[in-house]
Structure 1
């Protein structure tokens, strides 16, 4: 079946629940405004199942109701993983055979972002979702710079460590800060390095999607739920497997 509708109480009933905040004090008019917005979004009839004042001037709503929209799954476009998942043992072996040295990874939360939970989940040995972090891999040299790292400092440390890959985590998304910070980072590395010597640039965060890599100027984007094993496997693929089979670049 390629045509589907949302499922609520019964198959194909189209029932959807969504939440949002309106800049209006909580009263009957506010609930009416929430229903009007839901109607304009294709939910009709809409029922306000929860409303709560968020200070004197805002109200948070949860609305529930049917939508008429259909989804054609045959037209859904996604970016599939194009590299094999490796165990830590296999990743270490590939690096040792392919590079004959340790692979250096420098990670940081850049800009004013102080949320290290994402970068720590990937890099720290404790890891995430039952997987050990990159520090567990014997053939990886992991340098975690922590939070609120300025882009020039990240570039400086990358050069000092002779980094093969840069991992940047962004959680704060107000005013598109995650996008602007990552674009600044990628531009700085492309200015500081030639294309042949530039480290692989990887961005991650809950509001990123894989399709944003080109927009951000990075080589790979990882979104929510990414595990350390996925990142390690990608680094091996990008820095060992693909480079081994790529033609040698020559300068004039």
Structure 2
């Protein structure tokens, strides 16, 4: 694989890119000039406004095309790569049955004011997503879908009542970073209520960066395009990891009085 890459437009490495944005400026020559200037300051030079369209009286939408000089070093790119195999539903069921000898309990919800259930339903509902059946289809999974606008305290309460092994939270609304605030609040609430005995915490949504799992206090973050099979595979992987992890030994405490006696 080539290490250093640039965008491709007409010829390899010509750096041509296309981007779109909206400016709070009435449509016209001055608006087009503002769009070109913005693109220039973003490193697009020369920049061509190939499309502009008024959006109401005071806003204009632009499509700009041009060349950038930037080069990407692929060795510096950091992403979360899937470290577990994708399994068929039959393989997931067989593995979980051997590991747990019971059904794995998954509780899912959209928390806070988020009312968009498309994401959580795509993963949990039997109809699934992208040609894959949802987690309800898996015989060895018990799925509890709480729906939308679930408060964090209610989510914790239901997870404890259901003895959940995993909690899946979907967030689509991102205004003022609401999705990040909600996930941090949820993670903190589970830590306070259940400590080390908390279930696996999984967050998902189109605007999440999978690299943020540690920062948000959850075990896994899934971004846009995630399929039910990927989530099922992760659940199996996480359960296997917990089962095979060595027990944490209690630290030996030696008091000062004991030291004196010895």
Give your verdict on TM over 0.5.
yes
Cα deviation, 1:148-179, whole Å, max 9, x if unaligned, reads 11111111111111111000001111111111
For 2:54, the equivalent position in structure 1 comes to: 53
Q: Secondary structure at the match of 1:46?
A: strand
Cα deviation for residue 3 of structure 1 reads: 1.4
**Alignment length (residue pairs):** 250
Deviates more, 1:80-89 or 1:53-62: 53-62
Alignment of 1:39-78 (within 5 A): 39-78=40-79
- 2:34 & 2:133 partners in 1: Cα distance? 48
Aligned position for 1:246 = 245
- CA drift at 1:55: 2.1
Match of 2:126 in 1: 125
Q: Secondary structure at the match of 1:175?
A: helix
Give the secondary-structure state (helix, strand or coil) at the position aligned to 1:111: coil
Q: Whole-Å Cα distance in 1 between the matches of residues 233 and 97 of structure 2? A: 14
Partner SS for 1:141: strand
| Cross-structure match for 1:222 | 222
Secondary structure, counterpart of 1:194 in structure 2: helix
Higher-Rg structure is 2
CA RMSD for the aligned pairs? 1.3
Residue 23 (structure 1) shift: 1.8
- Correspondence for 2:258: none
**Which residue number in structure 1 is paired with residue 36 of structure 2?**
35
Residue 64 of structure 1 aligns to a residue in which SS?
strand
CA displacement 1:77-131 (0-9 Å, x = unmatched): 2221111211111111111111111000000111111111111110000111111
The TM-score with structure 2 as length reference comes to 0.92
Deviation at 1:198, TM superposition (A): 0.3
Q: 2 CA distance for matches of 1:14 and 1:110?
A: 42
Name the SS of the counterpart of 2:22 in structure 1: strand
Aligned with 2:114: secondary structure?
coil
Q: Determine the C-alpha separation between the residues in 2 that align with 1:191 and 1:205.
A: 25
Measure, in 1, the Cα distance between the counterparts of 2:185 and 2:59. 34
1:6 Cα deviation from its structure 2 partner: 0.6
Looking at structure 1, the residues matched to 247 and 102 of structure 2 have their Cα atoms a distance apart, in angstroms, of 20
Q: Which residue of 1 aligns with 2:5?
A: 4
For 1:188 and 1:244, the matched residues in 2 are separated by 24
Per-residue Cα deviation, 1:199-240 (whole angstroms, up to 9, x for no partner): 00000001112101011110000001111011011111112x
Give distance in 1, aligned partners of 2:61 and 2:192. Answer: 45
Structure 1 unaligned blocks of 5 or more: none
Q: Which runs of 5+ in 2 are unaligned?
A: 252-262
